[in-house]
């Protein structure tokens, strides 16, 4: 799916569990956010920056499966281990609370759900995912521009939804699409394009080459961690959008930029766990927590576990990318 859809679903579930067991929800929400950001690097559609990087870097869904998915899975395992250690007291409290509630509650009748009305949504969902996975092959068969079906598949799926929801189509377009966010991204990339037009990104690219002596490994490490550092104080989409034209200029100067795209991906997703504003998933989850009146998460509370998870997984991803690509 994507990080926002995932965190909306999982946060709602966890808030219900914490409310039922009378537990402070903040630690569990942080764990979910950490896992969401790490897992969002696995595929093209897991995070907005994955789509941006795929389109700008010419990377396919298959490229993500080969390079990003194994690294993301390993980082997720490390994240889970770190969370089990750091939040061991909270996890123990959840287990104890569950045992008490289970003993107090009487057995409930088994609830069955008819799945007939889910056939079409499942068919559409699986068809969309299959098309995204096969987009590179389909583009070759149809002689289309590379990565054009990454956009075409989404538009086609949206069109099918409009046809199926004829009576609600106008409402879906007007109210269910986040036009403010889309407008923000349009203006953001216009601003970044302006920096490229006036030559600012070229100056930065030349400075980076001079600073690193033109060494590909040093540039890769610099771009990866610079993206991560910018992500932690802004947002991963903003950070990636800032570095995209710089990488374009580095490519024009003759540098192999393929490792840099992967470095930006993991710098933007893994280091997004550093602070509460590092990723959209962080902001959405904290907002849901506060709106439900189940507490709040401060930067002071977040920063230590966030730093432990993001720095550990960031170093692991950097080493694995170096081993895989150099």
DSSP assignments along 148-191, one per residue: HHHHHHHHHHHHHHHHHTTTTHHHIIIIIS-HHHHHHHHHHHHH
Instruction: Note the pLDDT of residue 128.
Output: 87
Domain with 186 in it: 3-101+130-325
Question: Exposed (0-12), middle (13-18) or buried (19+): which is 212, by Cβ within 10 Å?
Answer: middle
Encode pLDDT of 254-300 as tens digits: 889 999 999 999 999 999 999 998 998 998 899 889 888 888 899 99
Instruction: Note the pLDDT of residue 145.
Output: 86
Asked if the structure places residue 292 within a domain, the reply is: yes
Q: At 265, which helix (H) or strand (E)?
A: helix 258-270
Asked if the structure places residue 113 within a domain, the reply is: no
Asked if the structure places residue 176 within a domain, the reply is: yes
Contact (Cβ atoms closer than 8 angstroms) between residue 38 and residue 313: yes
User: How many domains are there within the chain?
Assistant: 1
- CB atoms under 10 Å from CB of 135, counted, come to 24
Instruction: Note the pLDDT of residue 181.
Output: 66
The pTM (predicted TM-score) of the whole model is 0.82
Instruction: Note the pLDDT of residue 274.
Output: 95
Asked if the structure places residue 159 within a domain, the reply is: yes
- What's the rounded Cα separation, in Å, for the pair 205 and 246? 6
Instruction: Note the pLDDT of residue 102.
Output: 60
Alpha carbon 80 to its chain centroid, in Å, reads: 17
Contact (Cβ atoms closer than 8 angstroms) between residue 318 and residue 263: yes
pLDDT < 50 positions in the chain: 109-114
Instruction: Note the pLDDT of residue 202.
Output: 77
Q: What DSSP state is assigned to residue 107?
A: P
Asked if the structure places residue 92 within a domain, the reply is: yes
- What's the rounded Cα separation, in Å, for the pair 142 and 272? 38
Q: What DSSP state is assigned to residue 105?
A: S
Instruction: Note the pLDDT of residue 114.
Output: 47
Asked if the structure places residue 265 within a domain, the reply is: yes
> Token pair for residue 172?
């879906």
Contact (Cβ atoms closer than 8 angstroms) between residue 41 and residue 228: no
Asked if the structure places residue 115 within a domain, the reply is: no
Asked if the structure places residue 225 within a domain, the reply is: yes
- What's the rounded Cα separation, in Å, for the pair 177 and 161? 13
Contact (Cβ atoms closer than 8 angstroms) between residue 314 and residue 225: yes
């Amino acid at each position: 799916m994507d990080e926002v859809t995932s965190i909306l679903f999982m946060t709602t579930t966890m808030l219900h569990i914490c409310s039922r067991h009378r537990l402070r929800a903040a630690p569990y929400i942080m764990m979910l956010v950490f896992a969401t950001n790490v897992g969002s690097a696995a595929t093209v559609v897991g995070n907005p920056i994955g789509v941006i990087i795929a389109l700008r870097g010419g990377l396919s869904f298959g490229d993500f499966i080969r390079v990003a998915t194994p690294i993301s899975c390993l980082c997720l395992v490390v994240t889970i281990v770190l969370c089990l250690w750091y939040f061991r007291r909270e996890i123990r409290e959840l287990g104890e609370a569950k045992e008490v509630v289970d003993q107090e509650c009487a057995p409930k009748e088994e609830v069955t759900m008819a799945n007939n009305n889910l056939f079409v949504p499942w068919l559409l969902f699986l068809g969309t995912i299959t098309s995204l996975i096969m987009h590179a092959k389909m583009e070759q068969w149809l002689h289309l521009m590379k990565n054009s079906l990454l956009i075409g598949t989404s538009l086609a799926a949206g069109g099918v939804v409009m046809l199926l929801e004829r009576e609600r189509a106008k409402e879906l377009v007007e109210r269910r699409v986040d036009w403010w966010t889309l407008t923000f991204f349009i203006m953001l990339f216009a601003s970044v394009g302006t920096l490229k037009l006036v030559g600012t990104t070229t100056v930065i690219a030349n400075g980076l080459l001079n600073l690193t002596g033109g060494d590909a490994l040093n540039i890769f490490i610099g771009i990866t961690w610079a993206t991560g550092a910018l992500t932690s104080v802004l947002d991963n989409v903003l950070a990636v959008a800032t570095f995209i034209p710089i990488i374009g200029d580095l490519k024009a100067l003759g540098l192999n930029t393929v490792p840099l795209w992967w470095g930006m991906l993991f710098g933007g997703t893994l280091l997004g766990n550093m602070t509460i504003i590092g990723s959209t998933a962080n902001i959405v989850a904290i907002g849901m927590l506060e709106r439900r009146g189940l507490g709040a998460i401060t930067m002071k509370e977040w920063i230590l576990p966030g730093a432990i998870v993001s720095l550990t997984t960031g170093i692991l991803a950097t080493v694995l990318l170096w081993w895989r690509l150099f």
